[in-house]
Structure 1
Amino acid sequence: MKSMWKAALLAGAAWGASCNLAMAQEQPVAEPEVGVEAVVVTARRREETLKDVPVAVSALSAARLEATGASDITTLQQQTPNATVQIARGSNSTLISFIRGVGQQDPLWGFEPGVGLYVDDVYIARPQGAVLDIFDIERIEVLRGPQGTLYGRNTIGGAIKYVTSKLDLDKPEFLLRGSVGSYDQRDVLLQASIPFTDKFAIGGAVASYDRGGFGENLTTGQDHYDKDVAAYRASAEFTPRDDLFFRFAYDRVNDNSSPRHGHRETAGSTADSAVLSDVYDTRAGLSGPNRVDTEGWSFTGSWEASDKLTFKSISAYRESQTDTIIDFDGTPAPTLDIPAYYADEQFSQEFQAQFTTDRIQGVVGVYYMNGYAKGAFDTIAGNLGLSISSAGKVATTSKAIFGDVSFDVNDRLKVSVGGRWTQDDKNANVFRAFYLGATRSPTLGGTPRPIFATRTNYVAADSFEKFTPRVSVSYDLNDDLTGYASFSSGFKSGGWDMRGDAALVPQTANGYQPETVDTYEAGLKGNLFDRRLFFSSAVFYSDYKDQQITTQQVATAPAVGIASVVDNAGASTIYGAEFEGSAFFSPNLSANFALGYLHAEFDEFITLVTGTPVDISNTRQFQNAPKFSGYLGVTWRGDVAGGTLRVTPSVSYRGDYHLFDVADPILDQDAYALVDLGVVWDAPGKQWQVAVYGKNLTDEQYRVGGYSFPGATYNNSIIGFYGPPRTWTASVQYKF
């Protein structure tokens, strides 16, 4: 009921805003500083105004993120329609993303993400360490729908682009910010840049994020849901001539937060498996290292060969190491304990040529990536007296040729055509074995002992090749409105299930093929009410084929164990609508809003577990695909105490959604709304800033993930992971 009232409040506020906006036409309104025709994005790998891009893209500026107190990129879920951007189950820095119902829930090393993440045009191949904290940033772009032409494989849901700020070549810059808040939060950010000449500058930033736990591990005494993260960035920029630009950048993140085990949603058969009253508490007994370290460098060079032709090179290397533990049963006993490690590295190289003439603009290029990912985890099943060890590695070489060209047919009509050819060559090793004894296996440093039974042991190789086209037509209806229609295609690469049990499900050794999405989209962007409303809208229809779907298998006597089956089991239809923008009511009052509608259903869901193909689509649901989502943030700004005060209350709404493709009344999340508040005061000259932020002010409890292992064998282990409770943060910032 409370969520329904908040949804009504959101809808009512949006309606009231529209009415006030219309009435405001008779009042003098200051010209807004930035509108949809002035926001510059790089959705098509070249700088264009948001109004001219025939793509559904949200652009969140540094100022907007600052006004709402955005701490990391998961805030995109609140402010972007039809998007899920969350911290993965049992993690503090692993990213799970879905856009328009398409993504990837499982961060295991053998699976590819369905939403691409880019930092300054560098593709981040693995989700570990990808929950990026927001600092030293210019903007974040969220591209919705398949981006297979310009961004390639694994962007079938869309792409998130994190764009950092360039260095100032004219004067030194310095910023120091300190924050304190609820649950012993203590954050510090220091960033600076120094121009040594008018052509060369260096800069760097160091950030420390510390917070006590929202709850407690009642068995070990550790904080639960705490944060202990350090982040570092450094860059150097060199402009030897007006037509040359070079940038070297380095970043590193160390996450030493305590293990996150989840909350039991149902009671088991033992006294210590009762449901705790605080959803952030646990009785988990599994202990061990829990750490994520990720780092990388990139080198970007740009040469303007003429006023019509620019060449660009992007070289990058990244690596990551993760040690983690998750206690699935939430008790001191090793009923279902999962220690694990992941490691990966990648090198990528991209060359682009961007060209512009009076009527033709575009980009062509080539891309190469060599990546390697490996890992191992144990499933310690105490009631079975077993440790099930899974280990493997995947090496990927990806090559692509791409291009996208726009033609101005006349002053109002534009046609864009693009395509990308991609080839992924993959090699994999997959191993799975049973060890007697409910302790860590020798693979993860446990007691040395012989293998009781080898379940999976194979080497495989395959090549996946795909051409992904895109075509769009846009038309300027007038100077203020642009409409467009487009078709785009994307694919996610195939592979092998690193958890597969070949003894239980032999077809796991065959692997799975790529999945594809074809999307038809139409949109309208522009300005209304004498440039008081800036908006982007889109309707879309997607044909989703060969979906890679993971089905969990829990076997008991005579066959025992926990395994998964990954098949190209699904075909689906997805359609929906999106509307977002900004409204300016007066020189002191403005608003940002976003509304999303999403309908996603399986047309086919074939399971082979029984040995005979069976379509069970009528029993399956899309995960992380709420039907409705919305956001409304209203900002009042005025002169206070000689400075500028900005007050931004906001509310975001997220409809009912499933955590898995099987409906589960215990884990499925009901609709909820989050109410936030940001108050920011900039002193004269903006050297000093004082801010106060309140998050989830109504203290909503909502699940963002879970695991389900019901039944006596695993002590009815059904656990949920929750979003943050109500928090307050106060910060002071000094800069020059």
Structure 2
Amino acid sequence: MKAMLKTALLAGAACAAIPAIASAQTASQGQGVSAVEELVVTARRREESLKDVPVAVTAVTSERLEQQGARDITTLQQFTPNLTLQVARGSNSTLISFIRGVGQQDPLWGFEPGVGLYVDDVYVARPQAAVLDVYDIERIEVLRGPQGTLYGRNTIGGAVKYVTAKIGDQTEVKVKGTYGSYNEFDAVASVKGKLTDTLRMGLTYGHFGHDGYGKNLNTGAEHYNKDVDAMRATLEWSPTEKLFFRLAGDMVQDDSAPRHGHREVPALNILSQPIAGGAPPSNVYDTYAGAGDKNHVESKGLSLTGEWDLSDTLKLKSITAYRNGKTKTIIDFDELPQPLLDIPGYYADHQFTQELQLLYTGEKLQGVAGVYYLNATAAGAFDTVVGQLNLTIATAGYVDTESYSAFADFSYDVTDALKVSFGGRYTKDDKEGHVYRQNFTGIRSPLFGNAAAVPGLVRSNFTNSRSFSKFTPRVSVSYKFDPDLTGYVSYSQGFKSGGFDMRADEILTPSSKNGYAPETVESYEGGLKGYFFDRRLSLNSALFYAKYKDQQVTVQTPVGASIASQVLNIGKSHMYGVELEGTASLTSNLTAGATLGYIKAEFDEYKAYNPATKLVEDFANSRVFQNTPEWTGSAYFTYGVDLADGRLAFTPSVSYRDKFSMFETPSILDQKAYWLVDASLVWTAPGDRYRVSLKGTNLTDERYRVGGYNFPQSAAVFYGNSVSAFYGPPRTVLVSVEAKF
């Protein structure tokens, strides 16, 4: 009841915002109120005003992120409708992302994401090391809904574009230091500028770290700490007015301790008796894990972008990129010193991509056409250690992917007010997967250092290949009611590639060696974007309805001492909802903003194996969408005054997330609705030469789950009643000082 009341209050506040803002705007006429900033985005691979793009886009500038106290991209979920961006369970830098109910529930190698992540137009194929820290950026764009035409496969839910800051004509040196709760110390330094009349260089380094929010009560190690180093280097060359080249490299290294999580229920032995010392720790950030405290994640990338102005209306663009990464980690599922259910793991991946674009800007016709190629490998290994049986199940494998696509998207001005956009993309994926899975007697297998482990039953050892292809169209019609107000309707498709389950068990699920098919989304959308009251209010709105087919779900069913895992195309579903975003300049000193998202996502068919009846049944009535709260919303205001020859800005904000499920099957891990309250106080000197800020996040010290693992005693008695959860950050207060030279 309490959560329903909060939701109703939030929805009512959003519905009341427009007349309240209108009243404030009318009262402020003649008081020197400035217009709301007009944002330029590249959602359609070309620069356009946000109000002219027939796509639901949230664009967040670096200034806004500074005001919100954002430290990494997961902060975006607090003020972006129908978005989930979370640190994956068991990790500090692996990303779980969902938009409008579509995403990637499983970060295991070979399982494709449903939301595409791009850094300066370079696709990042794997979620490891993808929790990007916010530094040295220009803006972040979140595109909601299928983006299959311009961004291709695996953007079936949408895309997140991380756009780094450009290099200016003047040499600039910037340093920033942050200190705060849990001994947080962040340091960022950058230097950018001209080397010659045609050559520019930029170099940025950042360290981000804090002590653990909790402690490993067994080993004394930090738990939920952070130890990340990141670097970017950029070289820009303009040999002529018509040619531009950009060589960019980046590196992220994460040596934070592994997140083992928090045991939510008492541990039980194989006889369902309590295990001594198996009670849940009182602090949700504490653990008793004994599997190990070492974790290492690294990701590196290099890209070369070239642009050639062939004429006043035609530009050729090339984007060549290579990325690779590796992860060594361990997750203690049972959260105890003894190895009831431990999972040491290793991931490795690399990708090469090449994209060619031809951009045309004519008087009535604008658009882009191109081709894209990806060659990628995702590989890894892990042990499933079941200590009560002195058993280890070793799993290893890889997926090789070659992807080819051709695309085009154009807009035509039928009249000065009416515009029609049309496009499509053809994609072909060739995949080869290899899966090895074997029983060993002993604690850990030879893959993870136990050469004395006795080999047993080989559960899987196969190599298979499949090809997938799909044409994904998009069409939209937009109409300018006046220069400041645009309405649009659109239809689009997207698909997420099929593949092979890296946990496939030929003995328990023989059909799993055949892999699984792609999933598709068809989306219908309408929206209204623009400015009101002399451009002092911006309002973006969208209504959508989507049909989701052949949905890929990882189903893990404990069977005896093993786990029957299979990625299934479980059937179909539908989603519909609404999204609102508004920003207003109320007075010369006061701006405000609010967002509201609503989504109803329901399964129409969910066919899976029922271990109790040994039949394939339809579970649509008892399954729910994971990581998809019905209501999301936020509100903030910024009040600024002149102070000490500078500008002082105070920004309190609040965000709301409705209750949601961690998995398709409801469990005790499901998160109740919650609010987060943040605030910042930022003083900026003239010319932005100096900036001092005080920021507080989660000021009410809310405890909320962001992930979990569910292996209760009722499913299998060998796993120690291992039900664990992972929690979002507690209350933190930070002080930052920044200087430019």
Normalising TM by the smaller chain, what interval?
over 0.9
Aligned to 1:155: 155
Aligned to 2:646: 643
- 1:13 deviates by 5.3
- 1:427 deviates by 0.6
Contact 2:167/2:202 (<8 A) preserved: yes
Q: Where in structure 2 are the equivalents of 1:695-714 lying within 5 Å? A: 695-711=697-713, 712-714=717-719
TM-score scaled by structure 2? 0.96
- 1:443 deviates by 1.4
1:406 equivalent to 2:411? Answer yes
* Letter of the 2:680 counterpart: G
Distance 1:2 1:685, change over 3 A: farther
- 1:277 deviates by 1.1
Aligned to 1:656: 659
1:29-63 alpha-carbon deviations (Å, 9 max, x no partner): 5454544xx31111111111111100000000111
Contact 1:81/1:578 (<8 A) preserved: yes
- 1:90 deviates by 0.7
- 1:567 deviates by 1.0
Structure 2: how far apart are the matches of 1:300 and 1:581? 35
Structure 1: how far apart are the matches of 2:592 and 2:4? 22
**238-247 vs 456-465, which moves further:** 238-247
Contact 2:499/2:515 (<8 A) preserved: yes
Distance 1:16 1:614, change over 3 A: closer
Aligned to 1:191: 190
Q: Where in structure 2 are the equivalents of 1:203-222 lying within 5 Å? A: 203-222=202-221
1:500 equivalent to 2:501? Answer no
Aligned to 2:271: none
Report % sequence identity: 56
Over the aligned positions, Cα root-mean-square deviation in angstroms equals 1.4
**507-516 vs 529-538, which moves further:** 529-538
1:482 pairs, out of 468, 486, 502, with 486
Contact 1:152/1:422 (<8 A) preserved: yes
Aligned to 1:226: 225
Contact 2:333/2:724 (<8 A) preserved: yes
Contact 2:74/2:131 (<8 A) preserved: yes
Aligned to 1:390: 395
Contact 1:10/1:632 (<8 A) preserved: no
1:616 equivalent to 2:619? Answer yes
Contact 2:114/2:496 (<8 A) preserved: yes
Q: Where in structure 2 are the equivalents of 1:312-461 lying within 5 Å? A: 312-437=317-442, 439-461=443-465
- 1:722 deviates by 0.2
Distance 1:30 1:503, change over 3 A: farther
2:731 pairs, out of 715, 720, 726, with 726
The residue matched to 1:65 in structure 2 has which SS?
helix
Contact 1:186/1:210 (<8 A) preserved: yes
Contact 2:206/2:229 (<8 A) preserved: yes
Structure 1: how far apart are the matches of 2:127 and 2:154? 12
2:304 pairs, out of 284, 299, 302, with 299
Aligned to 1:598: 599
Structure 1: how far apart are the matches of 2:111 and 2:161? 21
The residue matched to 2:228 in structure 1 has which SS?
strand
1:631 equivalent to 2:634? Answer yes
The residue matched to 2:277 in structure 1 has which SS?
helix
1:56 equivalent to 2:59? Answer no
The residue matched to 1:43 in structure 2 has which SS?
coil
- 1:650 deviates by 0.2
**447-456 vs 616-625, which moves further:** 447-456
Structure 1: how far apart are the matches of 2:620 and 2:123? 34
Structure 2: how far apart are the matches of 1:659 and 1:579? 25
Contact 1:20/1:585 (<8 A) preserved: no
- 1:552 deviates by 1.0
- 1:507 deviates by 1.1
The residue matched to 1:51 in structure 2 has which SS?
helix
Contact 1:436/1:452 (<8 A) preserved: yes
Structure 2: how far apart are the matches of 1:249 and 1:32? 37
Contact 1:406/1:417 (<8 A) preserved: yes
Distance 1:467 1:84, change over 3 A: same
1:716 pairs, out of 714, 718, 721, with 721
Distance 1:670 1:581, change over 3 A: same
The residue matched to 1:77 in structure 2 has which SS?
helix
Aligned to 2:252: 253
The residue matched to 1:432 in structure 2 has which SS?
strand
- 1:703 deviates by 0.2
5+ long unaligned stretches in structure 1: none
Contact 1:647/1:677 (<8 A) preserved: yes
The residue matched to 1:477 in structure 2 has which SS?
strand
Contact 1:522/1:539 (<8 A) preserved: yes
Structure 2: how far apart are the matches of 1:151 and 1:173? 34
The residue matched to 1:383 in structure 2 has which SS?
helix
Contact 1:505/1:609 (<8 A) preserved: no
5+ long unaligned stretches in structure 2: 268-273
The residue matched to 2:492 in structure 1 has which SS?
strand
User: Number of residue pairs matched?
Assistant: 728
- 1:669 deviates by 0.4
Contact 2:3/2:658 (<8 A) preserved: no
1:121 equivalent to 2:93? Answer no
Structure 2: how far apart are the matches of 1:4 and 1:184? 37
